Copies of this chain bind each other. A is one copy, B any other.
Amino acid sequence: MSEKPIGVAVLGLGNVGTEVVRIIENSADDLAARIGAPLELRGVGVRKVAKGRGVSVDLLTDDIEALVSRDDVDIVIELMGPVEPARKAIMAALEKGKSVVTANKALMAQSTGELAQAAEKARVDLYFEAAVAGAIPVIRPLTQSLAGDVVLRVAGIVNGTTNYILSAMSETGADYADALAEAGVLGYAEADPTADVEGYDAAAKAAILASIAFHTRVTADDVYREGMTKVSAADFESAKALGCTIKLLAICERLTTGKGKQRVSARVYPALVPLDHPLASVNGAFNAVFVEAEAAGELMFYGRGAGGAPTASAVMGDVVMAARNRVQGGRGPRESKYAKLPIASIGAIETRYYVSMNVADKPGVLSSVAAEFGKREVSIAEVRQEGMEDESGQRSGARIVVVTHRATDEALSETVAALADHEAVQSINSVLRMEGTSK
């Protein structure tokens, strides 16, 4: 074993930072054996130095720049979030020749180009396994294990909060508001859940997944995004009748046009998923990433997508790899962005649609509704019609649920717009896409 220890600096002492420090201290012998040199904690960067944080106060500092510049620091572990001041700290570390491990998804979805360039220039490692799907190894399998294959599609449940809420709605028949409130009480949803329920968190992860899966540059701004706040108990009922459940999916797809040109789609929205699809049984706070590759076929990676200990596991895997590279004088594989694929607009994407609407209960309505689909060459796969009663028990109209075959999003959204103006349609209750079927 090498005599010279590998020095690490941890930035941020939240749930993940605390767990990372615990592992570095408690598993010192194991880590040293795996790395080939001891790992030594040089300092922990915090906003305010104070006692009683589970770490010797001598190790704490609020001077992040000085900490990441220390000569005896080899690896900087960034767990501060959000984009700033994390970006500035990481850039400073890379410029000083430190390898960097980060769990910062927002930053990696936005500034990965700039950071990767700085890492390349300094010839150091920049690892971010923990930025997507917490403990689940996803980045490494996509960048390394599938490096000799062609990834066609990635569909992930990558946000634990929304999956907890949707699983609860599916199990108990609860409405969105009640399920959200319960998730808040149990600590699965934050006081302001916008980033989760509106899909911003999932979109950042979709950008990272698309970038590494397709060897191209995709940022969070490139990701089409719809939240899941409008999914209703009635949607779950209809979904069940169709043999489906509803999940918030992050989807990354490689599209090949007629002329062989390739584009990339990255999108986040709630979608119906058939119950026999492996993603359908990923419930509660669990995450999973389903990958389809040309040679490998279907793969799925499943596990805990958040939490201090699971995220720390992913961070420490990266730290051991970066440290090994230091000891052995090499570097890990970097990202490759050679493909430079353009982003496809959502209108060009082919999906299936589920449309639920209330209509007047009179002859000919179903036929005239169906005609709106036909006019735009959207083929209907399944129609369900139910009578509805008003409060006095009188028949007041009918609910129609239509599931289409695959068609472009443009044709589908034009159809829905026409239906909204249709004289026999009282209201469009919901429009969701259906994923995970081939038809």
Contacts and interface: CB of A to CB of B under 8 A. Distances in A.
Interface in A304-344: 304, 307, 309-310, 312-321, 324-325, 328-331, 333, 336, 338-339
B215 A34 contact: yes
Contact of A137 (B34, B141, B312): B141
Nearest to A325: B330
Most central of A129, A281, A303, A304 by chain B CB within 10 Å: A303
A330 B125 CA distance: 13
A146 B313 contact: yes
Contact of A317 (B144, B281, B321): B144
B309 A295 contact: yes
A128 to B, nearest CB: 12
B278 A302 contact: yes
Given A27-B150, A299-B136, A299-B303, A336 B144 contact: no
Given A297-B310, A331-B328, A315 B140 contact: no
A181 interface: no
Contact of A316 (B140, B149, B321): B149
A237 interface: no
Contacts of A324: 333
Given A34-B336, A144-B317, A215-B33, A296 B303 contact: yes
B30 A150 contact: yes
A77 to B, nearest CB: 11
A280 to B, nearest CB: 10
Given A33-B338, A293-B313, A320-B147, A302 B299 contact: yes
A301 B301 contact: yes
Contacts of A301: 299-302
B150 A317 contact: no
B281 A297 contact: no
A210 to B, nearest CB: 16
Nearest to A140: B145
Nearest to A139: B145
B317 A34 contact: no
Contact of A331 (B215, B294, B330): B330
Q: A-B pairs with the 5 shortest C-beta distances?
A: A148-B316, A330-B330, A137-B145, A296-B313, A147-B320
Interface of A: 19, 23, 27, 30-31, 33-34, 129, 135-137, 140-141, 144-150, 215, 278, 281, 293-304, 307, 309-310, 312-321, 324-325, 328-331, 333, 336, 338-339
Given A135-B295, A297-B307, 8 more contacts: A135-B293, A141-B141, A144-B321, A147-B320, A148-B316, A296-B304, A321-B333, A325-B330
